[in-house]
């Protein structure tokens, strides 16, 4: 008789947990996955996928406006928000079914219920059933965080609710300055809403390269989005179907919806972690893990957003795969978290990999910057007032390209390919030796020859 009911119990059916379950089952492990909501997790159900569908839909207004410059006459177009929601829901249901089918095909068992620790090896399901596991993987992800409680917080929605609004708000106030806040600001603006962004910092996209931050803000403001920095929402009042957000600056903004996108917190509450003696990282509130995603309890692991390391879906997937390879495939696999490409699907789009200029200057004694902004070819006929930003950050001693930052159409698609070069430690000379593909925006990456700035850090005497 087996000592444990299963070899691996996965708490959470998101992208990371699903990948770990499938790979572990492929190695012959007996696997159970508990998911209390819907298979697919944040990314598939209420994150990247529906968000990108909304982004694509909101672009169409620009396409219609730009068409006239290319000779097209298009009758007055109308937009129906409920149709978009219904079609999005249909696609998400299809993906959820695919996730479920792929897990079951691998031989793993799915239980649609909540699971909490009874002790370090025992999970109690909401059904009352208890399951013992040799190994446990926590992959419960994260959730929107509204921050400190303010008067009227009950009137505020998060990105979760934004995907299911019954109608498009004519006016919306969004508090936050990161990925989610800016993406939704551009989505709503693209569909025709009047949008105001409130952010407590001095500029949006904290942690991104300063040139990227300034460029994105300028482009968003050109599109009519109001961005108010250096203040926060202190109170929200409701008057019928309208809301008034009172700001710390003393002003107020009226809208039909108020959305907070000020960060996400790891889903660690009410999992019974204390019964399993699993430690929390005091610096970020996520589950503390080592380079192998192992917690302080040797047979319990955690991956993805619940660890609050790098909250990106491909990172969770890679961590889940590495965990399964290490524990069940008997291969020593660690995830390299350096030079991970990322994108912000704002309008315009941001694609970035590697170090910012500020980070590079702190790390290297000499840094060369290559930067250009230009009007994209399409805008020459459409007449749209927009510019593209491209920037390379180079270690001036080794000549290695240590960072690349792009703002403009298809920035995410371009940066995925550039990330390969950065990961392979390509030099600026390698970029220069690569022939340009003309006419493209990306050719600028291999034709910038003269540094726009050179920074040399003087050695301490």
State how far the Cα of 300 lies from the Cα of 64, in Å rounded to an integer.
53
| Per-residue pLDDT at 1 exceeds 70 | no
pLDDT category, 271, cuts 50, 70, 90? very high
At 133-159, the pLDDT tens digits run: 999 999 999 998 888 889 999 999 999
Residue-wise pLDDT tens digits, 181-218 = 999 999 999 999 999 999 999 999 999 999 999 999 99
pLDDT digits over 279-323, tens only?
A: 999 999 999 999 999 999 999 999 999 999 999 999 999 999 999
Q: Is 213 helix (H, G, I), strand (E, B) or coil?
A: helix
Residue of 333, 349, 357, 89 whose CA lies nearest to 208:
357
User: Any catalytic annotation for residue 337?
Assistant: no
Domains belonging to the chain, first-starting first, are: 6-144+265-327 (3.50.50.60), 153-262 (3.50.50.60), 342-453 (3.30.390.30)
Mean pLDDT across 259-277: 94
Cα–Cα distance between 392 and 362 in angstroms, integer?
16
* Statement: residue 461 has pLDDT above 60: no
For 248-386, list the strands marked E by DSSP.
Answer: 252-255, 257-260, 264-266, 300-302, 342-344, 350-354, 366-374
Q: How confident is the model at residue 118 (pLDDT cuts 50, 70, 90)?
A: very high
What percentage of the chain reaches a pLDDT higher than 90?
Answer: 94
The residues that bridge with 112 in the sheet, in sequence order, are none
Q: Out of 135, 164, 265, 438, which one is annotated catalytic?
A: 438
Q: What is the pLDDT of residues 333-383, one digit of tens each?
A: 999 999 999 999 999 999 999 999 999 999 999 999 999 999 999 999 999
Q: What is the pLDDT of residues 43-77, one digit of tens each?
A: 888 899 999 999 999 999 999 999 999 999 999 99
* Residue 146 pLDDT: 86
- Structure tokens belonging to residue 142: 């994260």
Question: Which long-range contacts link 85-91 to residues 24+ away (Cβ below 8 Å)?
Answer: 85/163, 85/164, 85/165, 88/50, 88/53, 88/54, 88/163, 91/49, 91/50, 91/53
What is the overall mean pLDDT for the chain?
A: 95
pTM of the predicted protein model: 0.94
Query: What SS3 state is found at 51?
Result: helix
Residues 66, 68, 69: CA angle, nearest 5 degrees: 75
Q: What is the pLDDT of residue 460?
A: 47
| Residue 7 · residue 134 · CB < 8 Å | yes
Check residue 459 and give its pLDDT: 58
Q: DSSP states of 298-336 as a string?
A: TTEEE-GGGGTS---HHHHHHHHHHHHHHHTS-------
The pLDDT value recorded for residue 276 is 96
For 9, the 3-state DSSP assignment is strand
Q: What stretch of H or E contains 228?
A: strand 226-229
Confidence label for 458 from pLDDT (cuts 50, 70 and 90): confident
């Amino acid at each position: 008789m087996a000592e444990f009911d299963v070899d691996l119990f996965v708490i959470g059916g998101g992208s990371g947990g699903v990948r770990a379950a499938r790979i572990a089952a492929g190695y012959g492990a007996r696997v159970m996955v508990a998911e209390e909501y819907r298979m697919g997790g944040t990314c598939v159900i209420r994150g990247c996928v529906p968000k990108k569908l909304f982004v694509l839909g909101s672009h169409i207004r620009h396409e219609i406006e730009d068409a006239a410059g290319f000779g097209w006459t298009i009758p007055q177009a109308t937009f129906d928000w409920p149709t978009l929601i219904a079609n999005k829901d249909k696609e998400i249901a299809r993906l959820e079914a695919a996730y479920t089918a792929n897990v079951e095909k691998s031989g793993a068992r799915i239980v649609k219920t909540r699971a909490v620790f009874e002790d370090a090896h025992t999970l109690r399901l909401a059904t009352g059933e208890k399951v013992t596991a040799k190994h446990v993987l926590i992959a419960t992800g994260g959730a929107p965080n509204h921050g400190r409680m303010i008067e009227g917080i009950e009137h505020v929605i998060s990105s979760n609710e934004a995907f299911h609004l019954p109608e498009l708000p004519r006016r919306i106030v969004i508090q936050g300055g990161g990925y989610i806040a800016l993406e939704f600001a551009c989505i709503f603006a693209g569909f025709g809403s009047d949008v105001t962004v409130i952010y407590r910092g001095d500029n949006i996209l904290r942690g991104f390269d300063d040139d990227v931050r300034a460029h994105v803000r300028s482009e968003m403001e050109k599109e009519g989005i109001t961005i108010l920095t250096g203040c926060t929402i202190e109170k929200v009042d409701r008057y019928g179907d309208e809301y008034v957000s009172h700001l710390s600056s003393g002003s107020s903004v009226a809208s039909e919806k108020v959305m907070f996108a000020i960060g996400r917190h790891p889903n660690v509450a009410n999992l019974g972690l204390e019964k399993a003696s699993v430690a929390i990282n005091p610096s970020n509130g996520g589950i503390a893990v080592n380079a192998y995603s192992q917690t302080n309890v040797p047979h319990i692991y955690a991956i993805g957003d619940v660890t609050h390391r790098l909250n990106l879906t491909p990172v969770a997937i890679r961590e889940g795969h590495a965990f399964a390879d290490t524990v069940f495939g008997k291969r020593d696999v660690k995830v390299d978290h350096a030079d991970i490409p990322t994108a912000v699907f704002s309008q315009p789009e941001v694609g970035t990999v590697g170090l910012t200029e500020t980070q590079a200057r702190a790390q290297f004694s000499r840094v060369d910057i290559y930067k250009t902004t230009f009007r994209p070819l399409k805008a020459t006929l459409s007449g749209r007032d927009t510019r593209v930003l491209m920037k390379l950050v180079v270690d001036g001693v080794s000549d290695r390209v240590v960072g690349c930052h792009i703002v403009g159409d298809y920035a995410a698609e371009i940066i995925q390919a550039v990330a390969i070069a950065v990961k392979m430690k390509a030099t600026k000379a390698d970029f220069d030796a690569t022939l340009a593909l003309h006419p493209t925006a990306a050719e600028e990456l291999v034709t910038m020859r003269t540094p726009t700035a050179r920074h040399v850090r003087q050695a301490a005497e």
